[in-house]
Every structure is written in structure tokens, then in C-alpha cells.
Amino acid sequence: MRMRVAGSRFLLPVLVVVVGLAVSSAFVGAQEQSTVPEGLAEALLSYNDLEFEKGISLAAGLLERDDLSAQDSVAIFEVLSILTYAKGEEYFKESIGYLTKISHVGPCVVHLPHDIWPQELRDNWYDILKINESLTCAEESRPGVKTIAIMEFDNFSIGKYQEELGPIGKGLADFFEHDFGKISSMTVVERDKIAYVLKEIELQKSGAVEKSTAVRVGKILGAQYMVFGSITQLDSKQTRMVVRVVSVETSEIIASVDKEGKPEYSKLEKELVEQLAELLDIQLSDDIKKLIQEGGTESLDATTFYARGLEYMDRYDYKHAYEYFKKAYDLDSSFVEAKQKMEVYQPLAI
């Protein structure tokens, strides 16, 4: 049984936006627009309210329509999988069954998984993509768009900062993924898809991954660029972040940037994203630059809490993941990424 955690309907705006993007915008008949997004939005209201059966019933009812596009069907199965998964472990196989149905419609109809998917569903979706030999289909469907994969950052800090910063490299890779994803001329390989491939080919035994190994993973995932980064914090006032971009085709470093300053890692990351874009001859409009500056946090503690939440999320320990995302958000209520992760894992906290 899922325990209701303090909070209300945070998740709905994120879900509605995603569902609106996932489903078809085609018209039903001559004039009437598809009402599938609205129907799924209503179904998803039940997620935070823990009324999973109600949401499942509403979503399943949409499958009875005879005017569904492939995108509509994918979105409905997506919602059914999330709601069924939320019911508990005994419904796991049923929730994965809906992902299999998506693959039958077409694993590459839309770019999945969305950010709203719990981590275990995401990893099982990668299993399905692998079986269908479709791990790179979403990237290949956008000709002319460069694909970039971002490795977890190394933490070369010394003394207490090595331990205090913990899995901050995971958080920084996540920040870079978010911000590079705002550039329309780039497709970003999901951080967890990289981890999935590393695990599948048993290359990530422990510790840092060698460049040659990462480049091999990049080739498997159809990436043109691999991003490697590191941080080195020596005291409470100063840190250094180094980021390099490697061509997957040649294994050569084609761009390198570094920056020193206060340990405001999100701020440093955003500055380096813009510098890397310039070095890669990617033109950023003023609107994109403004978009990149949105989100993140200036709080070091919020950053480390968020990274710790990602660590627990990757282990499917949703209770602790939620707690750390909430700690990050409580420290900085403008930390959008922490809020979004809270919204996904709030109903799954046991």
C-alpha cells in the first residue's frame, strides 16, 4: 500500500505538458480536435491522489475509441503503465505489459521514456528497446540533429569534500542533460540509458569509466559527441570544473572548457554549456540562452541533496529518493528539477 506524503497536485502540470506532446494533434473527423490529452489529464489527476484504479479506468476507457492515432495509443499505454506500477510490486508485470504494447504500436513512434516515468519502468523500457534493436531509434529519427551523450562527472575533490559532495557527478551530468536538451539542434542521450548500456556490456565494474569505454558506449547509442567532466574542490570557497567533448568517430577531444569559482555548481554548469555550444559552432538565440539559465540552484546543499536523490532513484529506493529531492526543494523553492522529481516519486514513497 502506498503512503500519501505531504503535498498535493504538483505532478499534474508536468504530466499534462508531456501527454500533450506525446499524443497526436490530428483532428477527429473534419473539425473536432482529439480529446485524448484532456482525457489522460483527467486520468492522471488520480496519481497524486493515490486513486490509481480510478485513473486506470479512465485511461482504459479511451482505448475503446476507434479514432486513435499511434501517438494516442502510446500515450494511453504510457499512462496505464505508470498508474498500474504505482499500485505496488504485485502489479509490476502488468505495468511492463503496457510497455510491451507500446513496442507493438512502434517503439519509435515518440521519444520515450519521458521524465515522468519511474526509474524501474525506464530501465525495463530499455530492455524492450534492446530486444527490438531500437535503442537508438529516437536519435536516428531526427536527421541533421547532433546527438550528445554525457558521462557522470568525476569527483577529484580532496579530504572531506570527496565525501560531502558524494554522487554530485551524477547530478552534474543530469544538469548538463537538462540544459543541452533545451537546444533544438541537439538530441541528448538519457543519463540512465548510458548507465544501462554500461551495465549490459559489463564495462562499469566500479569507479570511473575510461574514455575508450565511454566512446564505445557512444557508438552503441548512436552519439556523435561524448561529454566528460570533473570537479575538484579543495576548500569551501573555490572549486574547478573541467569539461571536454570527444568525437565518437575519431576519439579526439574537439572542445575543452574549464572554470574556477565558488562551489555554485549549477551556475558553473550553465556557463560551461554556453561556452561548449560556441566551441561546437552551435548558435544559441537569446531565447535559448534565457531558457538555459532557468532551473538549477545556487545552493550547494540543494545540489548535493538532489544528486543523492538521483542515487537512490537509480536503486529504485523511492522513499529515500523522494526525501532527498524534497530536501533540495525545501532549501530552494526555485529548483525546478528537484520539484519535478518530487512530483514523480511522491506517490511511490512507501
pLDDT digits (tens, 9 = 90+) for 24-39: 333 333 334 567 889 9
**Rounded Cα–Cα distance for residues 270 and 289 (Å):** 9
Which domain-ending residue is among 245, 262, 294? 294
On whether both 264 and 220 belong to a single domain, the answer is: yes
On whether both 262 and 161 belong to a single domain, the answer is: yes
Tell whether 220 is covered by a domain: yes
CB contact burial 45-81 (16+ within 10 A = b; e otherwise): bbbbebebeebbebbeebeeeeebbebbbbbbbbbbb
Q: CA nearest 14: which of 99, 87, 113, 115? A: 115
Map grid coordinates 545556487 to a residue: 298
CB contact burial 326-348 (16+ within 10 A = b; e otherwise): bbbbebbeebbbbbbbbbbbbbb
On whether both 96 and 26 belong to a single domain, the answer is: yes
Residue 20 contacts residue 45 (beta carbons within 8 Å): no
Counting Cβ atoms within 10 Å, is residue 286 exposed (0-12), middle (13-18) or buried (19+)? exposed
- CA angle 243/280/145 to nearest 5° reads 110
Tell whether 343 is covered by a domain: no
On whether both 192 and 110 belong to a single domain, the answer is: no
**Rounded Cα–Cα distance for residues 104 and 153 (Å):** 36
Q: Which helix (H) or strand (E) holds 146?
A: strand 146-150
Counting Cβ atoms within 10 Å, is residue 240 exposed (0-12), middle (13-18) or buried (19+)? middle
Which domain-ending residue is among 279, 294, 309? 294
Residue 226 contacts residue 208 (beta carbons within 8 Å): no
Report pLDDT for 138: 53
Tell whether 341 is covered by a domain: no
Residue 1 contacts residue 86 (beta carbons within 8 Å): no
Tell whether 85 is covered by a domain: yes
On whether both 149 and 100 belong to a single domain, the answer is: no
On whether both 103 and 210 belong to a single domain, the answer is: no
Tell whether 326 is covered by a domain: no
pTM: 0.88
**Rounded Cα–Cα distance for residues 280 and 183 (Å):** 12
Torsion over CA of 47, 13, 181 and 186, rounded to 10 degrees?
100
Residue 221 contacts residue 201 (beta carbons within 8 Å): no
On whether both 85 and 188 belong to a single domain, the answer is: no
Enumerate residues 6+ apart whose C-beta is below 8 A from 206: none
DSSP letter assigned to residue 17: H
CATH at 245: 3.40.50.10070
Counted domains in the chain: 2
On whether both 174 and 104 belong to a single domain, the answer is: no
On whether both 112 and 166 belong to a single domain, the answer is: no
Tell whether 320 is covered by a domain: no
- Helical spans, DSSP H, in 181-285: 191-200, 211-220, 265-279
Report pLDDT for 202: 63
Tell me the β-bridge partners of 246.
Answer: 226, 253
**Rounded Cα–Cα distance for residues 146 and 144 (Å):** 6
On whether both 167 and 247 belong to a single domain, the answer is: yes
**Rounded Cα–Cα distance for residues 234 and 236 (Å):** 7
Tell whether 260 is covered by a domain: yes
On whether both 161 and 88 belong to a single domain, the answer is: no
On whether both 162 and 217 belong to a single domain, the answer is: yes
Containing structural domain, residue 44: 11-117
Ranges of the chain with pLDDT below 50: 1-10, 12-32, 139, 204
Tell whether 184 is covered by a domain: yes
Which domain-ending residue is among 52, 87, 117? 117
